[in-house]
Amino acid sequence: MIITDNLITSFLRTRSDTEEICAPLQIEDYVIQPIVDVSPPKWHLGHTTWFFEEFILSKYVPGFERFHPEYAYVFNSYYESVGKRVIRTDRGNLSRPTVSEVYEYRDYITSHLQTFLEENDDPKIRELVEIGIHHEKQHQELLITDIKFILGNNPLFPKYNDTFSENPGFDDDQISGYSTVEEGVYEIGYEGNKFCYDNELGRHKVFLREYTIANALVTNKEYLEFIEDKGYENSLLWHAEAWDWIHTDNIKAPLYWHKIDEQYHQYTLQGLKTIDYTAPVTHISFYEAFAFAQWKGERLPTEFEWETAQSLFKWGIRWEWTESAYSPYPNYKKAPGALGEYNGKFMVNQKVLRGGSVATPRDHTRPTYRNFFHPHLRWQFTGLRLVKDK
Amino acid sequence: MIITDNLITSFLRTRSDTEEICAPLQIEDYVIQPIVDVSPPKWHLGHTTWFFEEFILSKYVPGFERFHPEYAYVFNSYYESVGKRVIRTDRGNLSRPTVSEVYEYRDYITSHLQTFLEENDDPKIRELVEIGIHHEKQHQELLITDIKFILGNNPLFPKYNDTFSENPGFDDDQISGYSTVEEGVYEIGYEGNKFCYDNELGRHKVFLREYTIANALVTNKEYLEFIEDKGYENSLLWHAEAWDWIHTDNIKAPLYWHKIDEQYHQYTLQGLKTIDYTAPVTHISFYEAFAFAQWKGERLPTEFEWETAQSLFKWGIRWEWTESAYSPYPNYKKAPGALGEYNGKFMVNQKVLRGGSVATPRDHTRPTYRNFFHPHLRWQFTGLRLVKDK
Amino acid sequence: MIITDNLITSFLRTRSDTEEICAPLQIEDYVIQPIVDVSPPKWHLGHTTWFFEEFILSKYVPGFERFHPEYAYVFNSYYESVGKRVIRTDRGNLSRPTVSEVYEYRDYITSHLQTFLEENDDPKIRELVEIGIHHEKQHQELLITDIKFILGNNPLFPKYNDTFSENPGFDDDQISGYSTVEEGVYEIGYEGNKFCYDNELGRHKVFLREYTIANALVTNKEYLEFIEDKGYENSLLWHAEAWDWIHTDNIKAPLYWHKIDEQYHQYTLQGLKTIDYTAPVTHISFYEAFAFAQWKGERLPTEFEWETAQSLFKWGIRWEWTESAYSPYPNYKKAPGALGEYNGKFMVNQKVLRGGSVATPRDHTRPTYRNFFHPHLRWQFTGLRLVKDK
Amino acid sequence: MIITDNLITSFLRTRSDTEEICAPLQIEDYVIQPIVDVSPPKWHLGHTTWFFEEFILSKYVPGFERFHPEYAYVFNSYYESVGKRVIRTDRGNLSRPTVSEVYEYRDYITSHLQTFLEENDDPKIRELVEIGIHHEKQHQELLITDIKFILGNNPLFPKYNDTFSENPGFDDDQISGYSTVEEGVYEIGYEGNKFCYDNELGRHKVFLREYTIANALVTNKEYLEFIEDKGYENSLLWHAEAWDWIHTDNIKAPLYWHKIDEQYHQYTLQGLKTIDYTAPVTHISFYEAFAFAQWKGERLPTEFEWETAQSLFKWGIRWEWTESAYSPYPNYKKAPGALGEYNGKFMVNQKVLRGGSVATPRDHTRPTYRNFFHPHLRWQFTGLRLVKDK
């Protein structure tokens, strides 16, 4: 159990980190929602704040006064109760509260929670705060990917800043070749006494065959070979639903790739650039990762293979698609009440990603961390690592 | 023909009036597009500016330098040429250019056009400027109705300001009873030497039967009787497409009406208020206007009946739905080129509205002015006036 | 007023004519509904029968026993009352009742109505029978166009029969040149004591300018010139909604045209054939008719111009699109009750067509007959005639 | 390897069994496609025939003449090559070929294949025939479920026949209580030398914790308790996508349940009947199976748990939803070419079902058989069996 001072420090740092991420934005950038998967930055700022207000302050602080009676309605992502008004609250349709009001809301809640924590060391509260911190760190990553989508789909291609590197240190980290894991029964899932999500439990045994796994992620150069070999035109490489998707959405390359004057460019958080072919490919869907592996004659790892092998390679700059569907572990127990919706209710029609990305907050991920998205989504910093069978 | 000074004055006043309308807005309000019919205020500001840049400055000022090479792409409402990028430019998905940049764009174009006009009195240029002024006045009205939609569909119901009256002077203007127009051949369409739109020409004769037309607009009180008599549940009052519409969109009252604690309220530009039952009903579709008239056993006027009778009653606070479909007048001539798209390309599937509204700029409308919208739309300040046959 | 024997004869002939139209069909052809505008032939057979059962036999024959308690539900095109079951009854999803059962239903109703009429000469009944006869004749035309759509959208291109001519006698009927109608006040609408629809009344005066109208319909040859001049690619010729439509639906030629080995073919009721370029173009939408006229620098007639000029040219093999929107005539009175829905509820968003087509039953149309369809529809035998202003 | 005579016998029996299933149908029933998941019986008859023509006769019989040049186009379910015509071939829009022509096609191919097999004992051919037989058996099951959907969604509720029992012998087979499987490493996947699908290979080890599994399937009575306890209204029991689904599609009970006069009825192949509460529940989606298990505080088995435990209980009258997503087994190898599309291309977004149903052809299923459907689908004879953890 971490001690109080550290919890408060951690809470305050998380709160300021979130705001730091938004510092380069113009007010206009906070407001829009270009696709349903991308939320307005303003909403992320409010929603992470509402979490502390709803699950801690309003429940445990006697006489606590909410900042605004309607904000629970505006910033709640959970199952809506029956609405009292004839109003659609699509996140991208709300110009109010203003950005400035949302920051006031943040300050109000941050300050009240700090005060409350200074006077209270109930372990149950501390656990809820810790969940809230991790919840906010998840939204820090989404803020970065959502901001990239908002700016990167603007015809003016504005940059986010001049310093965010999408490929930090990959030259050193990426080692060629494959590593082998022997057949056997392995333990999967979180073990330890730090924070983990419910979906990383219960820890359990799996039987794995021998396999070899690539030390390096697939690069832009390799992916370009797939494109130039007409990988997007060969139906035998694709799932049936993927084939429909690439035709309906006219998919011919990773997200953010633009062929300009016969040269591929890529929108990055530093603006539009020619593609760095030695960097690991990113912004691909599970469908594309799978088709690429089929084309290579190899395959994606399962999440169990990935977790078992992860100490053999460097990871953390791309979320790595796995073949595994997102399902509960044996003896998985949902938390009771609304917090129980946190992970369990998404355990269908999604694929597990492992690792972490350049957008993941430092120390937020771990070897047992299970990220998950629908197989067609590409706005996260996704990538892939290949596996071969004996 | 107006003289130069007046044209420049008129141009500058129109430009500043537009900005005045936006003065009460927060930056966030400029950006969003809650439904396809409502454009972000930022877009209106840019689009009306682009009109002067595209059709005058870039064509007639030698060596004119556009403010930004991409703005024509961002602010053009006309038929898109084939796009050069893989980017969707839905107006509500664009956080950039910022509001501040759009105002710089306005200043740049306003100032260049002013200079150009001071040195140039070519009648062709002056005619284009005049079209641009009227074009911008049309967008002034849309700015008001779009701002109302943006704020009025926000669960916080923010007010626009404390002074905008949606029912100015209606107590004095609305006189009960009906006026009669005798059978005969009447002249329709604009006659005079001031500005009018191409759709008001050519002036032509129509034959009208005798009819009587209400001196006053239908009020909220009368409309409430229709609701309480279950008008929305009686299929015989509605067009087939209207019946589908009220069921698909769950329509049970005019737009902006909210039944709160058994009392009808109405969002206005001054905020949410209980309904003023003596005010003329507004924010109804053609379908609702028609169904109301059916229920009354009366009917809507044709646009020709309205134009012929208009001197007999006060009008100008509600756009009045007519039975007439929007079609070209006899001998209608489209302007050549892109400006020819201005009106003619919309002459199908729309209904004509006559009069003007509280959102119409002073002096912008006239007895022959033909406004037009699809029959299901309600976000304009629409209303209705009844007609009886002998 | 027609006398009883003629009414019964007319009724019986109409019933057998309907069945004659279906004689060439396979049972499978009776069942499907490829698009929402096209009904299964089985449904037409049942619906026209239900009309007599619902509005006459069940109301006026004491103790009349319906053929089947559910058929009113299955064959009703009118506003559905609240369904008692969780069943969607899309017309094309119903394999039962079988074709054979529908013919039994027809025989049952035909025979009961014949008996009833032999014993009854109440003018009200006779008027209802007459409406039912005309209603069934309208469905005879729809049967032909719907059968053409069902067969003509099958990759095997089965023919309907070897004798149905889509261009009967047009060589003799089509005379080149234009006829002129002088300016004046003309009478519009049905006058006489035979049957007409409510939408042809009340008869009223209109003022028309002088115009000249083509003696002949536009031919396939002329239409091909429009295609080859890239008419489908010139946005200035099209309404805004039409431009969207041709791009969404990938429209590049009239319906049923297939370019096979660089040669245009056309599916006809006699099967797939190379195009007869001297025949009048058909299966075009209002949007295409309008764009063609724009391209020619001419225009479509209004329905009043058409009606006033119709004695000057031969017509009846193509429904001729007019510029007129479908609206009520002055003093139009809807029939009370469900029959009142017959025409009035469609008077929005549709364009009037005048004349008649090769699929129209003999003697069903007349100079004042007003047909109407949405502007994008093409499965009727539509065509166009041009008008020039002085 | 089976011997030739048996293969021919098996082939001929399969062909006649398929036709036997269709014997009670009216011609009209063969043609329609009420939802995209349900194919017209006519299509099943043709598609299973095309399989033998395409993959065997046209490839291996020198000079083989196809029955009709367009049938490959009409009856192919595989990735469409670029179409040569402007025709949509939705299966439910095709009245031709007629049912009679499809039976002629069947006879032609059956007869040619029989002759070919009598003269040929190439093992490769024999293997393809065997795949074709199993392929046709799969379609036999789909024929039954599709026919049930076609008839069961007709407001006349026609019965299929008087003899098809949906609950054969369940009274004897269903034993109460649970059986326990001990922790350990188990072998999964097909082992043997008879036919199996590629998706049942490669055989591999899995580690399972101890679990107890119900001997009996959940009954209608138990499911009714879930409904009456407002299970469909408790969001905490449902996946997020399931919650959307039940609201969008207004789901309140299993498919084919109708509450008539406060009494639940169920459409069966013998017609509409009151519900037999002792029978196992059927026609539920994975979502409903999962929500029911949540409500019970138990869970669904994984497909590995099911396969390991299957000898402990009776199964085969309901396809049993498992928690497992449909994924390739370790060392899974797709067959090359078009046959390789058979299973692999569906391995995403689907859930595995195990067992078999009353509609499954005798001897078609086996303990390692993996059926799969999207989690919202209900028109198969699906059911569920509960699992408890220690």
Sheet containing strand A382-383, edge to edge, reads A371-373, A351-355, A319-325, A382-383
Q: Tell me which chain A residues have a C-beta less than 8 angstroms from the C-beta of D337.
A: 236
Whether A34 contacts chain B with CB within 8 A:
yes
Give how far the C-alpha of residue B110 lies from the chain's centroid of Cα atoms, to the nearest Å. Answer: 24
pLDDT digits (tens, 9 = 90+) for A146-159: 999 999 999 999 99
Q: Would the CB atoms of C79 and B323 count as touching at under 8 Å?
A: no
Q: Tell me which chain C residues have a C-beta less than 8 angstroms from the C-beta of B325.
A: 325, 327
**Disruptive mutation site among A91, A95, A148 for chain B (greatest number of B CBs within 10 Å):** A95
Q: Tell me which chain D residues have a C-beta less than 8 angstroms from the C-beta of C26.
A: 95-96, 98
Q: Do the Cβ atoms of B278 and B219 come closer than 8 Å?
A: yes
- Give the per-residue pLDDT at A86: 40
| B206: nearest CB among C207, C341, C348 | C207
- Rounded to the nearest 10 degrees, the angle between the axes of helix C123-152 and helix C41-52 is 180
Average pLDDT of chain C is 92
Chains C and A physically touch (3 or more Cβ atom pairs below 8 Å):
no
* pTM of the shown model: 0.94
Whether A331 contacts chain D with CB within 8 A:
yes
Q: Would the CB atoms of A26 and B98 count as touching at under 8 Å?
A: yes
The pairs formed by A7-16 with CB atoms below 8 angstroms and a separation of 24 or more are A7/A117, A7/A126, A7/A129, A7/A130, A8/A114, A8/A117, A8/A118, A10/A133, A11/A110, A11/A113, A11/A114, A11/A117, A11/A129, A11/A132, A11/A133, A12/A110, A12/A114, A14/A133, A14/A136, A14/A137, A14/A140, A15/A106, A15/A110, A15/A136
Whether A36 contacts chain B with CB within 8 A:
no
Whether C163 contacts chain D with CB within 8 A:
no
pLDDT digits (tens, 9 = 90+) for A60-89: 999 999 999 999 888 987 644 433 434 445
Identify the band that residue A172 occupies on the pLDDT scale cut at 50, 70 and 90: low
Rounded Cα distance, C158 and B174, in Å: 66
AA letter at B186 = Y
Q: Residues near D387 by Cβ (< 8 Å), separated by ≥ 6?
A: D211, D212, D213, D214, D298, D299, D300, D301, D305
Q: Would the CB atoms of A327 and D323 count as touching at under 8 Å?
A: yes
Whether D333 contacts chain A with CB within 8 A:
no
pLDDT exceeds cutoff 80 at C43:
yes
Chains in contact with A, where contact means 3 or more Cβ–Cβ distances below 8 Å, are B, D
Q: What is the DSSP letter of C5?
A: H
Average pLDDT of chain A is 92
Q: Tell me which chain B residues have a C-beta less than 8 angstroms from the C-beta of A74.
A: 155-156
Q: Do the Cβ atoms of A315 and A327 come closer than 8 Å?
A: no
Q: What is the DSSP letter of D280?
A: B
pLDDT exceeds cutoff 70 at C111:
yes
Question: What SS3 string covers chain A?
Answer: CCCHHHHHHHHHHHHHHHHHHHCCCCHHHHCCCCCCCCCCHHHHHHHHHHHHHHHHHHHHCCCCCCCCCCHHHHCCCCCCCCCCCCCCCCHHHCCCCCHHHHHHHHHHHHHHHHHHHHCCCCHHHHHHHHHHHHHHHHHHHHHHHHHHHHHHCCCCCCCCCCCCCCCCCHHHHCCCCEEEECCEEEEECCCCCCCCCHHHCCCEEEEECCEEEECCCCEHHHHHHHHHCCHHHCHHHCCHHHHHHHHHCCCCCCCCEEEECCEEEEEECCEEEECCCCCECCCCCHHHHHHHHHHHCCECCCHHHHHHHHHHCCCCCCEEEEEEECCCCCCCCCCCCHHHHHHHCCCCCCEEEEECCCCCCCCCCCCCCCEEECCCCCCCCEECCCEEEC
Q: Tell me which chain B residues have a C-beta less than 8 angstroms from the C-beta of A95.
A: 26, 28-29, 31-32, 150-151, 154
Q: Tell me which chain D residues have a C-beta less than 8 angstroms from the C-beta of C98.
A: 26-28
From the CA atom positions of chain B, what is the Rg in Å?
22
Q: Would the CB atoms of D31 and C28 count as touching at under 8 Å?
A: yes
AA letter at C278 = T
Q: Would the CB atoms of D241 and A348 count as touching at under 8 Å?
A: yes
Rounded Cα distance, A180 and A312, in Å: 9
Q: Do the Cβ atoms of C253 and C227 come closer than 8 Å?
A: yes
Q: Do the Cβ atoms of A317 and A167 come closer than 8 Å?
A: yes
Residue of A nearest to B97 (CA): A156
Distance from CA of D259 to the nearest CA of C (A): 9
In which element (H, E) is residue B180 found?
strand B178-181
Identify the band that residue C170 occupies on the pLDDT scale cut at 50, 70 and 90: low
| C150: nearest CB among D28, D95, D154 | D95
Whether A92 contacts chain B with CB within 8 A:
yes
pLDDT exceeds cutoff 70 at C227:
yes
Identify the band that residue C331 occupies on the pLDDT scale cut at 50, 70 and 90: confident
Q: Tell me which chain A residues have a C-beta less than 8 angstroms from the C-beta of B38.
A: none
Tokens encoding A218:
């697939």
Per-residue pLDDT of chain D (390 residues; tens, 9 = 90+): 344 569 999 999 999 999 999 999 999 999 999 999 999 999 999 999 999 999 999 999 999 999 999 998 889 876 444 334 344 458 889 999 999 999 999 999 999 999 999 998 899 999 999 999 999 999 999 999 999 999 999 999 999 999 999 998 766 656 789 999 999 999 999 999 999 999 999 899 999 999 999 999 999 999 999 999 999 999 999 999 999 999 999 999 999 999 999 999 999 999 999 999 999 999 999 999 999 999 999 999 999 999 999 999 999 999 999 999 999 999 888 766 666 666 788 999 999 999 999 999 988 999 999 999 999 999 999 999 999 987
In the three-class reduction of DSSP (H, G, I as helix; E, B as strand; rest coil), residue D81 is classed as coil
User: ipTM of the predicted structure?
Assistant: 0.93
Q: Would the CB atoms of B328 and C324 count as touching at under 8 Å?
A: no
| D95: nearest CB among C26, C70, C89 | C26
Tokens encoding D345:
């291309």
Chains in contact with B, where contact means 3 or more Cβ–Cβ distances below 8 Å, are A, C
Rounded Cα distance, C382 and C351, in Å: 12
pLDDT digits (tens, 9 = 90+) for C343-375: 788 999 999 999 999 999 988 999 999 999 999
Whether B298 contacts chain C with CB within 8 A:
no
Whether B224 contacts chain C with CB within 8 A:
no
pLDDT exceeds cutoff 90 at A171:
no
Distance from CA of D228 to the nearest CA of A (A): 21
Chains in contact with D, where contact means 3 or more Cβ–Cβ distances below 8 Å, are A, C
Q: Do the Cβ atoms of B266 and B256 come closer than 8 Å?
A: yes
Nearest residue to B306 (alpha-carbon basis) of B262, B240, B353: B353
Q: Would the CB atoms of C70 and D155 count as touching at under 8 Å?
A: yes
Q: Taking the CA atoms of C86, C89, C90 and C93 in sequence, report the sign of the dihedral they define.
A: positive
Burial group, residue A97, by CB count within 10 angstroms (0-12, 13-18, 19+): buried
AA letter at A311 = S
- Rounded to the nearest 10 degrees, the angle between the axes of helix D99-118 and helix D41-52 is 30
pLDDT digits (tens, 9 = 90+) for B296-353: 999 999 999 999 999 999 999 999 999 999 999 988 887 666 666 667 889 999 999 9
